[in-house]
A and B are shown apart, each in its own frame.
Chain A
Amino acid sequence: MKAVILAAGEGARMGPFTASVPKVMIPVGNRPLLESTVQALVENGVRDLVLVVGYRRERIQSHFQDGKAFHARITYVTQTKQLGTAHAVAEARPHLDGPFLVLNGSNLVDGRFVEDLLGSGGKPAVLITQSERPRSYGVATVEGDRLVAITEKPVEMISNLINTGAYALDERIFEEIDRLAKDGKHDLPSAVSALAQRTPVLAIRTEGTWVDALYPWDLLRLNATALKGTHEVRSGTIEPAVTIRGRVSIGDGCVIRSGAYLQGPLSLGPGCEIGPNAVLLPSTSLGKNVRIGAHTSVANSILMDDVILGPASVVQDGVIGSGVVARAGLLAAAGAGDVQIEGEWHAVPQLGALIGEDVEIANGVSVAPGTIINERARIESGARLRGTIPSGAVVL
């Protein structure tokens, strides 16, 4: 069986973290989100994958290449216009025959999730799960084990069963997609709802893992979930008097200086340098080539590739994009904050700083909880930040 993975979207609600990478390539647990989907499929013997790519597709292609490193065979289909999920599946049509799976590349899933989907035995099916915030999703109306309809972001409470965006389908779906396209509708849930009018579509409740990130702070939850599976790996150079507790994965070529205190679950990518007496607390991921200065403390955060955090800094519950350089004494501790994403305000109970790629921060900057610093901004010494700093801005 083949699987289509939808990976063309930008993920605009992810704020600065999709400035140059598609949402599916945001790292959680030190690997791109999309890897969890690919791995879950491969674990279940689904190795023939069609990736529908679009926004910044080069990032996906350079990482996954032809799929062999992931024990899969990957074909790329470019969706030139991001019209909708049904349109994306239709773009993959020339590569499909017989029943196939459709998954969303930006969710964190496990092997059990795919196993449940395969449970339909090749018949059309949708995977559903319970959610605490059904209004943000497509809600499934179900009779017995059959899907009646999927209602997108309902105003009224229908149920707390939501569509995970994972389907088992066959060529019949293309008739529905073509029909809806004529009315200018290009979303897959509408096509699946229409299909359910004509032929039985199973609604399968999954017991597996399915975690979705709507907003940047959700990444911390996904990161913590992903890090639960951390394996202990010791690589590189660990100087004397380093304390390592819990499950900590240390990549090739890392150097951990004397006096550092590492409490797992933690994942350190290859080539990181952790300064003397630095403290890394759960659940934190450091990408490749990250340098943490002396006496700096990082807790429950994602630091992407090539981040440099100078000495005597504090980062809690933060997401820090690739290539951010912060000199000495950055204070980005967590607390309750109000965050504005795409014009909407969200009250987040526990959050630190959200810092986009290649931001430069000079000495002694303090950042209020929930502050967003967009990509390539430059912050001068001693600044105190709150709210949203636009991309490329210079803050004196």
Chain B
Amino acid sequence: MCGIVGYAGRRNALPILLDGLKRLEYRGYDSAGVAIVGSGLQVVKDKGFIANLEAQLPPLIGSTGFAHTRWATHGAPSKVNAHPHIDCTGKIALAHNGIIENYAALREKLESRGHKFVSQTDTESLVHLIESYYEGNLEEATRKALHDARGSYAILAIHADEPGKVVGARNESPLVVGVGPDENFLASDVPALLRYTDRVLYVMDREMVVITPNDVSIQDMEGKPIHRDPQRITWSLEDAEKGGFDHFMLKEIHEAPKAIHETLLGRLANLEVDGFLSQGVTSVKLVACGTSYHAALVGKYVFEEIARIPASAELASEYRYSQGPSERPLVILISQSGETADTLGAAREARRRGSKTLCISNVVGSSLTRETDKTIYTRAGIEIGVAATKTFIAQLVALYLIALKLGQDRGALGYDELDRLKDQLRSLPRAAQYVLDRADEIRNLAKKYGNARDVFYIGRHANYPVALEGALKLKEISYIHAEAYAAGELKHGPLALVTPATPVIAVAVQDPTYEKMRSNIGEVSARGSPVLAIGTEGDKELPKFVDDVFEVPNLPWVLSPVPVSVALQLFAYEVAKMHDCPIDKPRNLAKSVTVE
């Protein structure tokens, strides 16, 4: 998972590339580099954040080039492994996002022919391969090289003897073209382009693209031209600024009520959810990775409760390699970016098995939306913080809407029940706001509990996945070891780890397992663990059993994951802030994972 941006135009490329690169930093940031064709090919790269590269850049002159920010998969983060990579002649530069699977074989073959390799990356084999095919035309050579390479990639290449031309290609890693007057752009993601143009076109899998200052040509792997018109992007960079908040993550947590509003907008009154039809659906399988998988797990409980339909959740990386049993559930794939490699693979597998597929994504036109039969968009707006916050909340809301629709169509819900649930959904923005209005309380709790080395989260039922997500947030951004358990499982092992030095965060809202949860809390507090409970407003009993309570509004249990998640997001944020962690760019992580 990396970010790339390319430019061919009349202006000096360097400032444009660096600006674009900074907007892609969320995709990875352990090293960065830039290649520019001016008077010859000039390449500068180094380990570390983009600012680190910028600080040591000589003034590179030239109006063709590209830049790359890397998130290491093959080869450690280092200067030599940073992109761009160059060939033996020093004329071709290549940046690559993805994985070349057969790089070892390619490398062996190329080395035997005398090519000199300097890095441990899979990418370097590709640039030498292009060199070996080069006969004066970069796109020809690239095409031939890609016929030999196997794997996923978005690549950009330039040649010293062909100024004004950037060649790109895509297979399973994102690449978009930005179309401007007298200049054209290539990038992994739209935010890198928005300052310069709002006209973009998406490059599809197994396609190549050549940009020059005046032309964009897309072609297939046989070199046949493909015509595609640019689309206009309606959102703007303003979404990408912090607006007075210390971090994007905090800004985005505070946007939860808005994300809920937008996701409900126009869908609730008549339950028209982007044309989703529930006919023939007899069971549901939810498939996703990471935070989206936690939404999927909540979804299982939501579907069973509201729609009375069998539902299960599975990790995309497991589902796609498992044996498909004979049933044909509706497969719901969840991915914020819509570019998650494993989820894309799972979508293809689900279709191969003959299931209908539905995806929940936050990015219009993303790869996943093209791989599935139907898309329901979460309308959370762009999310920059690497830790998903408002988009997780919006995913939950989308799941409620689908469940309501299924419940209505299957007759699982009476008219009055449906109406009551709709009103309760309308109250969700307020429930999230209630938590946000009490951020000070959470800050104080973070001070009290945030100095531990290990933290355990427990929950049951629909709030078990919420505990998993709370622990993930804490791990991601504060680097504190956190584990979540279904509270009933404590006595099957984890209790051995519980000591007075391990605080326990317990989700204990009013739900069908509340009483059980209280005995589970008893199990840990008996071993001396300080317990912070997330409870329901007005619960007079809970404070007697635990050290601290943070209250969320009284909602039907099936909706409680929304305010509880907001509370746990804020808690993780406050702990990370207290420890001065780089909250928006945690180490080793990237926003959307487009490698397997």
Chain B residues lying within 8 Å of A178, measured Cβ to Cβ, are: none
A228-267 vs B, CB cutoff 8 Å, 1 = contact: the mask equals 0000000011000000000000001111000000000000
Residues of B within 8 A of A58 (CB): 245, 254, 436, 439
**Min CB distance, A139 to chain B, in Å?**
35
- A255 with B430: CB separation less than 8 A: no
User: Does B88 lie at the interface of the complex (its beta carbon under 8 Å from any beta carbon of A)?
Assistant: no
* Contact assessment for B265 and A271 in the assembled complex, using a CB-CB cutoff below 8 Å: yes
Size category of the binding interface on chain B: 20 to 34
- Chain A hits for B429, CB < 8 A: 288-289, 305-306, 323
Check if B261 sits within 8 Å of A270, measured CB to CB: yes
Kindly identify, within residues 295 to 334 of chain A, every residue whose CB is under 8 Å from any CB belonging to chain B. 305-306, 308, 322-323, 325
Check B55 for interface membership: any CB of A closer than 8 A.
Answer: no
| B447 lies within 8 A of chain A by Cβ | no
Please state if B243 and A271 are interface contacts (CB–CB under 8 Å). Answer: no
Residue of A53, A56, A305 ringed by the most chain B CB atoms within 10 A: A305
Residues of B close to A76: CB separation below 8 A:
243-244
Contact residues in B for A68 (Cβ distance below 8 Å): 236-238, 241
- In the bound assembly, the distance between CA atoms of A112 and B429 in angstroms comes to 37
Contact partner of A308 among B237, B254, B267, B426, CB < 8 A?
B426
Q: State the CA gap A31–B264 with chains docked (Å).
A: 20
* A87, CB-defined interface residue at 8 Å: no
Which of the candidate stretches A59-67, A126-134, A207-215 sits at the interface with the other chain? A59-67
In the complex, which of the residues A64, A308, A322 contacts B243, with contact meaning CB atoms closer than 8 Å? A64
Chain A residues near B239 (CB-CB < 8 A): 65
Q: How far is the CB of A6 from chain B (nearest CB, A)?
A: 15
Among B236, B244, B265, the most chain A Cβ lie within 10 Å of the Cβ of B244
CA distance A66 to B427 in the complex (A): 28
The 8 Å CB contact of B238, one of A56, A65, A325, is A65
- CB neighbours (8 Å) of A67 from chain B are 238, 243
Q: Look across to chain A and name the residue whose beta carbon is closest to the beta carbon of B537.
A: A376
User: B269 is contacted by which of A57, A255, A322, A325 (Cβ under 8 Å)?
Assistant: A255
**Given A289-B426, A308-B423, CB of A69 within 8 Å of CB of B238:** yes
CA distance A131 to B36 in the complex (A): 66
Q: In the assembly, what is the distance between CA of A325 and CA of B431, in Å?
A: 13
B252 to chain A, nearest CB (A): 10
List, sorted by A's number, 23 A–B pairs whose CB atoms are closer than 8 Å: A53-B244, A57-B244, A58-B439, A60-B244, A65-B238, A65-B239, A65-B241, A65-B244, A65-B251, A67-B238, A68-B237, A74-B244, A252-B265, A255-B270, A270-B265, A273-B268, A289-B426, A308-B426, A322-B433, A323-B427, A325-B427, A358-B434, A358-B553
> Taking the complex as formed, is B556 at the interface, i.e. its CB lies under 8 A from any CB of chain A?
no
Contact A289 B266 (CB under 8 A): no
**Is A358 in contact with B261, judged by CB distance below 8 angstroms?**
no
Q: Judging by beta carbons under 8 Å apart, are A66 and B434 in contact?
A: no
Give Cα A69 to B265, complex, Å: 20
A253 vs B266: C-alpha distance when bound (angstroms): 4
Give the chain A neighbours of B434 by CB distance below 8 A: 358
B453: interface (CB < 8 Å): no
Q: Is A20 engaged at the interface, CB distance under 8 Å to the other chain?
A: yes
Please, how many angstroms separate the alpha-carbon atoms of A58 and B436 in the complex? 9
Shortest beta-carbon distance from A290 to chain B in Å = 9
Chain A minimum-CB-distance residue to B240: A66
A9-28 Cβ-contact flags toward B at 8 Å (1 or 0): 00000000000100000000
CA distance A60 to B258 in the complex (A): 13
Q: How far is the CB of B429 from chain A (nearest CB, A)?
A: 6
B437 CB–A CB distance under 8 Å: yes
CA distance in complex: A60, B269 (Å): 29
Cβ-defined contact, A271 with B261, below 8 A:
yes
In the complex, whether B183 has a CB less than 8 A from a CB of chain A is no
Closest to A53 in B: B244
A64's closest neighbor in chain B, by CB?
B243
Q: Are B243 and A65 in contact (CB under 8 A)?
A: yes
Chain B residues contacting A51 (CB-CB under 8 Å) are 244
For residue A293, give the distance in angstroms from its CB to the closest CB of chain B: 10
Residues on A with C-beta less than 8 A from B427 are: 306, 308, 323, 325
Report A54-95 CB contacts with B as 1/0, cut-off 8 Å. Answer: 001110111011111100001010000000000000000000
With both beta carbons as reference points, the residue of chain B lying nearest to A78 in the complex is identified as B244
The 8 nearest A-B residue pairs measured at CB: A253-B266, A68-B238, A65-B243, A76-B244, A323-B430, A61-B244, A255-B269, A66-B241
With A66-B242, A273-B268, A323-B429 known, 15 other A-B pairs at CB within 8 A are A51-B244, A62-B243, A65-B238, A65-B243, A66-B238, A252-B266, A270-B265, A289-B265, A289-B426, A305-B261, A305-B430, A306-B429, A323-B430, A357-B430, A358-B434
The answer for the CA separation of A395 and B229 in the assembled complex, in Å, is 63
- From residue B588, how far is it (CB to closest CB) to chain A in Å? 29
Q: How far is the CA of A69 from the CA of B239 in the complex (A)?
A: 9
Q: Which residues of B sit under 8 angstroms from A64, Cβ to Cβ?
A: 243
**In angstroms, how far is the closest chain B Cβ from the Cβ of A170?**
26
A306-B426 in contact given A270-B261, A271-B264, A358-B434 (Cβ < 8 Å): yes
Which B529-544 residues have C-beta < 8 A from chain A? none
Q: Knowing A68-B241, A255-B269, say if A62 contacts B264 (CB, 8 Å).
A: no
The distance in angstroms between the C-alpha atoms of A292 and B426, with both chains bound, is 12
- Give Cα A65 to B237, complex, Å: 11
Q: Which residues of B contact A273 (CB under 8 A)?
A: 268-269
**What is the bound-complex CA distance between A347 and B344, given in angstroms?**
66
